[in-house]
Structure 1
Amino acid sequence: MMTRIFPAPAAILRHAALLVTAALILAPFVWMVSLSIKPPGEIFRASFSFWPEQFYGIENYTKAITQAPLPRYMLNGVIVCASILALQIAVCAPAAYALAKLEFAGRDLLFALVLIALLLPHEVLALPLFIFGAKIGILNTYAALIFPYVVSPFGIFLFRQFFKTIPDDVVHAARLDGYSEIGIVWKIMIPMALPAAIAFGIFSVVSHWNSLFWPLIAVSDANLMPPPLGILTFRNEEVGIDFGPLMAATVIVIFPLTLVFLTAQRWFIGGLTTGAIK
Structure 2
Amino acid sequence: MTASRALGRLASLALLLLGAFAILLPFIWMLSLSVKPQDEIFSATFQLIPSRLEWQNYVKALTETDVPRYLLNGVIVTAGILFFQILFAVPCAFALTHRTFKGRTALFGLILAALLVPFHVTAIPVFLGFAQIGILNSYWALILPFVPTAFGIFLFRQFLSQIPADLFDAARVDGLSETAIVWRIAFPLAMPAATAFAIFSVTAHWNDLFWPLIATTDPDLATPPRGILFFRDEESGDDVGPLMAAATLITAPLVIAFLLAQRKFTQGLATGGLKG
Q: Quickly name the TM-score band, shorter chain normalised.
A: over 0.9
Q: Give the secondary-structure state (helix, strand or coil) at the position aligned to 2:233.
A: coil
Per-residue deviation at 1:174? 1.4
Unpaired segments ≥5 residues, structure 2? none
1:119 pairs, out of 116, 126, 151, with 116
2:70·2:227 contact (CA, 8 Å) conserved in 1?
yes
Distance in structure 1 (CA, Å) of the matches to 2:154 and 2:251: 27
1:85·1:201 contact (CA, 8 Å) conserved in 2?
yes
Of residues 6-15 and 148-157 in structure 1, the stretch that sits farther from structure 2 once superposed is: 6-15
Aligned AA for 1:207? A
Distance in structure 2 (CA, Å) of the matches to 1:237 and 1:205: 27
Of residues 92-101 and 232-241 in structure 1, the stretch that sits farther from structure 2 once superposed is: 232-241
Distance in structure 2 (CA, Å) of the matches to 1:242 and 1:12: 43
1:199 pairs, out of 196, 199, 204, with 196
CA spacing shift, 1:241–1:117, aligned 2, 3 Å: farther
Distance in structure 1 (CA, Å) of the matches to 2:155 and 2:235: 47
Distance in structure 2 (CA, Å) of the matches to 1:59 and 1:68: 13
2:30 pairs, out of 29, 32, 56, with 32
Per-residue deviation at 1:41? 2.9
The alignment status of 1:142 with 2:139, answered yes or no, reads yes
Per-residue deviation at 1:214? 0.4
1:183 is aligned to 180
CA spacing shift, 1:185–1:145, aligned 2, 3 Å: same
Instruction: Show structure 1 runs of 4+ deviating over 6 A.
Output: none
Unpaired segments ≥5 residues, structure 1? none
The alignment status of 1:69 with 2:66, answered yes or no, reads yes
CA RMSD of aligned residues (A): 1.9
1:36·1:61 contact (CA, 8 Å) conserved in 2?
yes
Distance in structure 2 (CA, Å) of the matches to 1:160 and 1:260: 24
The alignment status of 1:21 with 2:19, answered yes or no, reads yes
Per-residue deviation at 1:251? 0.3
Q: Deviations over 1:159-182 (max 9, x none)?
A: 000001101111211121122222
Q: Give the secondary-structure state (helix, strand or coil) at the position aligned to 1:235.
A: helix
Distance in structure 1 (CA, Å) of the matches to 2:234 and 2:135: 31
The alignment status of 1:226 with 2:241, answered yes or no, reads no
Distance in structure 1 (CA, Å) of the matches to 2:235 and 2:134: 34
2:49 is aligned to 51
TM alignment of 1:62-101, pairs within 5 A: 62-101=59-98
1:252 pairs, out of 249, 254, 259, with 249
Per-residue deviation at 1:239? 8.3
1:110 is aligned to 107
2:156·2:193 contact (CA, 8 Å) conserved in 1?
yes
The alignment status of 1:170 with 2:170, answered yes or no, reads no
Q: Deviations over 1:18-39 (max 9, x none)?
A: 2122111101100110111123
Aligned AA for 1:12? L
The alignment status of 1:156 with 2:153, answered yes or no, reads yes
Of residues 138-147 and 117-126 in structure 1, the stretch that sits farther from structure 2 once superposed is: 117-126
Per-residue deviation at 1:260? 0.9
1:234·1:242 contact (CA, 8 Å) conserved in 2?
no
Give TM-score, length-normalised by structure 2: 0.93
Per-residue deviation at 1:208? 0.9
Query: Number of residue pairs matched?
Result: 275
Distance in structure 1 (CA, Å) of the matches to 2:115 and 2:45: 44
Of residues 44-53 and 94-103 in structure 1, the stretch that sits farther from structure 2 once superposed is: 44-53
Q: Give the secondary-structure state (helix, strand or coil) at the position aligned to 2:115.
A: helix
